[in-house]
Chains A and B, each alone.
Chain A
Amino acid sequence: MKTWVYIDHFKGEAVSASWEAIGVGKTFGSVTALVFGSSVEHLAQAAFEFGADEVLLADNSELADFRAEPYASTLTALVTSASPDLILLPTTFRAREMAGMSAMDLNSGVLIDVTALENNGENIIATRPIYEGKLFEKTTCSGKPQFVALRGRAFPRPSREAGRSGAITKVAAQTQALTSVEGYSAGESGVSINDAGVIVAGGRGVSNNPSLGQDEKATAEKGFALIGELAALLGGAVGASRAAVDAGFIPYSHQVGQTGKVVSPDLYIAAGISGSIQHVVGIRTAKVVVAINKDAEAPIFTVARYGVVGDLFTFLPLLTTALKKILDK
């Protein structure tokens, strides 16, 4: 199977699920990595170190900012001349936009958010969650190439072999763009909940009634500071339930669950989150869930491995201290 892997990046920094995609590609044979951008040769080198055998590099200043139209046209032109069977991508918004457009050009299909793959000899059959993880479907695509976008952290990341190299083939960029990127302001630094191995999340319980005035806001800020401290200790990310996001305590990018993000951390600590079905579908693929809640009847305890009935404001600092001690930090 002729397999290509698209390396998604933002301003030259790769999305780590791209490396996971190389690992998956290698199970089907050799892998050609696709690197598009401006001054991105270092990503080609990284792709070799994660296992790519060959890199097709479209390095052009016109591709400096990701824009779906020229990236898709570049991909479509390459596919038309080389006819791969399978294109693996990480499930990011950029990859969705590019693959969606390119698949339209090529009259093929895109399978999104894939958590498992089988190869029946002719086609890839992909398993993916639907209805925000309430169901799973197996899907296949009758067109060629099959575009398969993998969910981050669903597949193991291959180990990096420093100094491994391969042949880079420079390819033409299609530069006709329909939009212009006029400005950029960086988001918050810190670990994104998409890539996080550990997520500590807060919900309505961080404040008793988020719609009330300044006192409640101050309480919520204090609560999220405690959550942030624990997340920082564990090298993790801060998550939130919709209630906390709607109240404006934390930006939307932290929202876990339906209408937010589906996450797959190894450890998910839910503090003051009751566990509505909309939230719980977002953490179904978390390995270990720990729930801290004042209400012993909260539904979050039915999906948690460990539970603590108590007040997060008292308990989180104690847990942070205990973990600090045990981890010797």
Chain B
Amino acid sequence: MKIVVCIKQVPDSEAKVSTQNGQVSWGESPLVINPFDEYAVEAGLQQKEVFTAEVTALCIGPESARDALKHALAMGADNAVLVSDPALVDIDSQAAARILAAAIQKIGDVDMVIFGRQTIDTSTGLTTPQTARLLGWPMLALAGSIKSENKKVTVERIIEEGKQTVSATMPVVLSVVQSIGEPRYPSFMGIRKASKAVIPFWSLSDLGLSAPKVVVDRTELMNPPSRNVNCEIINGSNPEEIAETLAKKILAEKVL
């Protein structure tokens, strides 16, 4: 089985992100693999434990995004591919889907494509359905577990309203949620292997694409409105009195 895991590099979730001169700034914080995508890598490696499978991590990004791919390799992925091109700045989900679909086709004979449920930067959650649509492959989104048998893939889809069992025939595009299991830590051997790995990079022309049209444009970037809250610590001679005072304050806010 041939599995492609699509990952993205994003600022660390601890980063204090702000806007500076109209650009996104994350200060000194590191760029990391998108936390949800670690679950996608984990899902691919779980398949590999059951089947003879080859897991390729695929990422669109600048040169620095190699580090995110190295993380996937250190976790146990077999191969990594970076799609990098100066024309790929501020692309939208649709453009990303076009590039990923072309790269998946170039990798060839892929049975399963796995995404994390969304990224923590732009958080649109659109790239999975859009890539599936372009490829014309079935989408099994929000998978909390994955079972494959012959060419049939069955997932437990975790939604607000409960769990659904959904199936489709390979090749399929999946997105996974945390129930898939905690992502494994890179092993010492994995880290060594990853540090030596030569990660090929493909440009747009390698994929036979021109710069994809972007349909969603950012017109302005803003820091969030500052919340000027002065916390009022409720005091009292005993906890009962504090509880009563707080209850009155909450009632006066007219939020109940």
Q: Please, how many angstroms separate the alpha-carbon atoms of A288 and B140 in the complex?
A: 38
A135 B24 Cβ-Cβ under 8 A: yes
CB pair B231 A291 closer than 8 Å:
yes
The proximity string for A residues 279-323 relative to B, scoring 1 for CB distances below 8 Å and 0 otherwise, is 000001001111100001000011111111110001100110111
CB atoms of A109 and B179 under 8 A apart: no
CA distance A187 to B179 in the complex (A): 14
Interface of A, helix, strand, loop or mixed by DSSP: mixed
Knowing A252-B177, A278-B13, A306-B234, the reply to whether A178 touches B222 (Cβ < 8 A) is no
Query: Is B17 in contact with A134, judged by CB distance below 8 angstroms?
Result: yes
Output the nearest chain A residue to B153 by Cβ-Cβ distance.
A179
* Nearest B-chain residue to A184, judged by Cβ: B164
Answer whether residue A129 sits at the interface, using C-beta atoms and an 8 A cutoff: yes
Interface residues of B in 241-256 (CB under 8 A from A): 242-244, 246-251, 253, 255-256
Question: Is B203 part of the binding interface, using a Cβ–Cβ cutoff of 8 Å?
Answer: no
Q: Does A234 contact B (CB under 8 A)?
A: yes
Interface residue? A138 (CB, 8 A): yes
CA distance A265 to B183 in the complex (A): 31
Residues of B within 8 A of A113 (CB): 123-124
B-side interface size class: 35 or more
State A267–B255 Cα separation when bound (angstroms).
Answer: 6
Contact with A along B202-233 (1 / 0, CB 8 A): 00000000000101111111111001010111
**Is the CB of A105 closer than 8 A to any CB of chain B?**
yes
How far, in whole Å, are A131 and B215 apart by their CA atoms in the complex? 20
Evaluate contact between B137 and A178: CB separation under 8 angstroms: yes
Whether the pair A134, B18 counts as a contact (CB closer than 8 A) is yes
Question: Which residues of chain B are near A111, meaning CB under 8 Å?
Answer: 216
A267:B256 contact, CB within 8 angstroms? yes
Give residues of chain A (94-120) contacting chain B, Cβ–Cβ below 8 Å. 96-101, 103-105, 107-113
Instruction: Please tell me which stretch of B44-52, B68-76, B127-135 contacts chain A, meaning at least 4 of its Cβ atoms lie within 8 angstroms of it.
Output: B127-135
A165 at the interface (CB under 8 A from B): no
A181 on the interface (CB 8 Å rule)? Answer: yes
Chain B nearest CB from A281 CB (Å) reads 9
| B243 and A326 form a contact (CB under 8 A) | no
A192 closest partner in B (C-beta):
B160
- Judged by a CB distance under 8 angstroms, whether A72 is at the interface is yes
Contacts A135-B24, A259-B35, A326-B247 given: A68-B253 contact, CB under 8 Å? Answer: no
Given contacts A108-B215, A186-B162, A323-B247, 19 further A-B contacts (CB under 8 A): A68-B141, A72-B129, A104-B97, A135-B24, A138-B220, A179-B167, A181-B166, A182-B167, A183-B164, A184-B165, A185-B162, A187-B163, A252-B177, A277-B14, A296-B233, A302-B229, A308-B246, A314-B239, A318-B240
- Show the binding face of A for B, using Cβ within 8 Å: 10-11, 65, 67-69, 72, 92-93, 96-101, 103-105, 107-113, 125, 127, 129-143, 178-187, 192, 194, 197-198, 234, 252-253, 258-259, 266-267, 277-278, 284, 287-291, 296, 301-310, 314-315, 318-319, 321-323, 325-327
Supply 13 A–B pairs (Cβ within 8 Å), ascending by A. A72-B129, A107-B213, A111-B216, A130-B122, A135-B221, A187-B163, A252-B178, A252-B179, A259-B120, A303-B229, A321-B243, A323-B250, A323-B256
